[in-house]
Amino acid sequence: MDYTPREMMAIMAAREIDDGTIVFCGTGISMLAAIAAKKITSPNCVIFFETGAIDSRLDEIPLVVSDPRVMYGASSTSGMLDAFAAMQNRIIGQYVVGILGAGQIDKFGNLNTTCIGPYEQPKIRFPGSGGGCDVTSFVPKSIIFMQQQKRKFVKKLDYVTSPGYLDGPQGREKAGLLPGGPSVVITNMGTFRFDEQSKEMYLQSTYPGIRPDDILAEMEFEVDSSNVREEIPPTMDELQVLREKCDPHRLICN
Amino acid sequence: MKGNGSKVTSLKEAVRSFIFDRAHISIGGFTVNRNPMAAVHEIIRSKVRDLHLYVHSNGQGVDELIGAGCVKSVEIAYGANGRFAPTCVRFRKAVEQRQIGIEDYTNYQMTLRFLAGAMGLPFLPCRSALGTDIVETWGFSEQSRVNDPKLPDKKLDILDNPFGQWADASKVVLVPAINPDVSFIHVQEADSQGTCKIMGLSFADVEQAKASKRLVITCERLVDTETMRNHPEQNQIPGIYVDAVVEVPYGAYPTACYRCYDYDPVYLHEYYRDAQEDAKNDQNRQRYVYDVEKHQDLLDLVGPERLEGIAADPETGYAVNLQRV
């Protein structure tokens, strides 16, 4: 069965989400992945929006995190103060997994969603942190979506918006951050994880039809690719649920 | 005096009374939801200049204010509109071309800054952004801050936990309070004294409202005070904070207002396309802002069919099956 890289990415992320997890997500593919997790692998996971909506019904896909569609049928709708406090508070925050994307990523999983070029006069200005820096500062685990491109996997970020492992082992602790950091990077070609000791990114898997070298050619920095496996493609069931139940109007996977 | 008297006025009167050149302002809502768009358009028509904006993620309103040339500087967490603008276009252009000054914070930090202002504190702590450029890189120089009595001398600061390792925190980030000269908030219901009922998410509206020196409320419906007091637990902003109340049906249009109407994808997509080019952006503003005298004229221009299309379904609070892309 044919599938698109975007569908593969959403399903890869859905497979990462354990049942019972609280999933913090933004819009677009990260929201689709969270919905897919709930409908395919983890019916008891809870979708959580930075705007303050918790466990919304999501009969229709929201196009923004402030969409009225996140307000309907939620367990509670408060505001940002509550939402971020929940993640900063490790009693509840320990159950949260963040899903987010970025314009640039480095080998320690730090993210740039602010600008390309100098901050004072950027070549390209992006939206900025939003809640991205907050969630990556607070929660123990995050899933990062990236497009596999050399200009996005860079040696040095133009601006560090959201912390990964900062400068490596003990980086977060030295800075005073809560323990955490990205657990997986999911791209349109494969997936990466982070070495437990060095905190450096390594290539974990390639999608069917992609060679490790294809991926490495789309990176500015080097990564260990000695233990790469080929990823299991989406199953018929996964694709069917994704297409028919998660995004029937193709608002995200179009 | 704020007090308990009637604060009901016209939008024109409210905007012209409380806004002025170089004012520090904030607006409520979040990206394409419950932005006080009628007020934003009235601000644009007032031709006010050099505003300093405090923003978390208030997308559409902020982008239209920047595009209209009203804004000199912005303290912001997020300048995008989700699917309707990956980055807000006029915001992006203004920053890239250095037409506005910018200082970046996070959404939580901006919310805490409003809360600090609402609490009468100089700052509040958080554990966000340690080790990042949000802490390290400043948009406004320290000198320009020291020279400006309306800005704190620092963007933020880091404090070693004075309680040792209590709560497992070695350090916290301190973010300075905000007290806007005036804020504009749109709500579903208010009474003449200004007491407000917000349905659905409140975003940071309550903190913004309570931090502000002047507060202008626009509402879908003016409700009599007795009715508002039947369920006081549902009211988030009491009238004591409020300076002006204006009934403006569809006052958040083209952004959404939960249980009243959805966002208007047609307007938002058209805006996004037009915003890419200066001349088209000017034409868009001419048509939808300058050539209409008041918000009702904009609604007439858009026409009843489109408004009917975004009418909220009574159960879900949004327009079910709305054509959105």
Helix then strand then coil, in percent of chain B rounded to 5, is 35, 20, 45
**Candidates A63, A81, A161; nearest CB to B115:** A81
Residue B172 and residue B198 share a domain: no
Any domain includes B322: no
* Chain B residues close to A68, C-beta within 8 Å: 33, 200, 256, 258-259, 262-263, 312, 316-318
- What are the pLDDT digits (tens) for A142-199? 999 999 999 999 999 999 999 999 999 999 999 999 999 999 999 999 999 999 999 9
Residues of chain B with pLDDT under 50: none
CB pair distance less than 8 Å for B108 and A80: yes
CA distance B171 to chain A (A): 5
The candidate with the shortest Cα–Cα distance to B322, out of A148, A218, A110, A251, is: A251
Residue B107, φ and ψ in degrees, nearest 5: -60, -40
Any domain includes B170: yes
CB pair distance less than 8 Å for B203 and A126: no
Residue A12 and residue A59: Cα distance in Å, rounded? 22
Range of the domain at B141: 122-176
Q: How many CB atoms lie within 10 A of CB A46?
A: 18
Which of A50, A218, A231, A238 is flagged as catalytic?
A: A50
The predicted pLDDT at position A224 comes to 98
Going from N- to C-terminal start, the domains of chain A cover: 5-246
Asked if B197 is an interface residue toward chain A (Cβ–Cβ < 8 A), one would say no
Residue B265 and residue B130 share a domain: no
Contacts of A22 by beta carbon, 8 Å cutoff, 6+ apart: A45, A46, A48, A92, A95, A96, A97
Instruction: Look up residue A246 and give its DSSP letter.
Output: I
pLDDT mean over A14-32: 91
**Letter string b/e over residues A125-148, b meaning 16 or more CB atoms within 10 A of that residue's CB:** bbbbbbbbbbbbbbbbbbbbbbbb
| A2 against B104, higher pLDDT | B104
**Which residue out of B132, B136, B186, B268 would a mutagenesis test of the A interface target, given it has the greatest number of A Cβ atoms within 10 Å?**
B132
**Candidates B131, B134, B204; nearest CB to A80:** B204
- Crossing angle, helix B59-67 and helix B278-285, to 10 degrees? 110
Residue B140 and residue B81 share a domain: no
Asked if B96 is an interface residue toward chain A (Cβ–Cβ < 8 A), one would say yes
Residue B292 and residue B237 share a domain: yes
- What are the pLDDT digits (tens) for A194-236? 999 999 999 999 999 999 999 999 999 999 999 999 999 999 9
Asked if B275 is an interface residue toward chain A (Cβ–Cβ < 8 A), one would say no
Residue B183, φ and ψ in degrees, nearest 5: -125, 150
ipTM rounded to 2 decimals: 0.97
Which option is the CATH number for A5-246: 3.40.1080.10, 3.40.50.720, 3.40.50.620, 3.30.499.10?
Answer: 3.40.1080.10
Any domain includes B303: yes
The predicted pLDDT at position B1 comes to 60
CA distance B116 to chain A (A): 12
Counting the structural domains of chain B, the total is 2
**B94 half-sphere exposure, CB direction, 13 A CA radius:** 25
Say whether pLDDT at A66 is over 90.
yes
Q: How far is CA B139 from CA A58, B77, B94, B129, B154, in A?
A: 38, 13, 14, 16, 11
Residue B146 and residue B64 share a domain: no
H or E, element range at B44:
helix B37-45
Strands B244-247 and B214-222: parallel
CA distance B309 to chain A (A): 15
- What are the pLDDT digits (tens) for B175-233? 999 999 999 999 999 999 999 999 999 999 999 999 999 999 999 999 999 999 999 99
| pTM of this prediction exceeds 0.90 | yes
* Chain B residues close to A133, C-beta within 8 Å: 106, 128-129, 132, 134
Any domain includes B3: no
Q: Is B68 helix (H, G, I), strand (E, B) or coil?
A: coil
Any domain includes B315: no
Q: How many CB atoms lie within 10 A of CB B72?
A: 16
**Which residue out of A55, A58, A133 would a mutagenesis test of the B interface target, given it has the greatest number of B Cβ atoms within 10 Å?**
A133
Residue B252 and residue B199 share a domain: yes
In chain B, beta strands by DSSP E: 24-27, 51-54, 71-76, 101-104, 123-126, 157-160, 171-176, 182-190, 196-197, 214-222, 244-247
Give the CATH number of the domain where residue B51 resides: 3.40.1080.10
Last-in-domain residue among B176, B205, B221:
B176
Residue B230 and residue B97 share a domain: yes
Residue B32 and residue B72 share a domain: yes
* Chain B residues close to A65, C-beta within 8 Å: 30-31, 82
Residue B198 and residue B165 share a domain: no
Last-in-domain residue among B176, B205, B220:
B176
The predicted pLDDT at position A26 comes to 83
Nearest CA in chain A to B159: A176
Residue B106 and residue B57 share a domain: yes
Asked if B316 is an interface residue toward chain A (Cβ–Cβ < 8 A), one would say yes
**Which residue out of B55, B57, B99, B140 would a mutagenesis test of the A interface target, given it has the greatest number of A Cβ atoms within 10 Å?**
B57
The predicted pLDDT at position B2 comes to 80
Any domain includes B1: no
Residue B302 and residue B264 share a domain: yes
Residue B139 and residue B32 share a domain: no
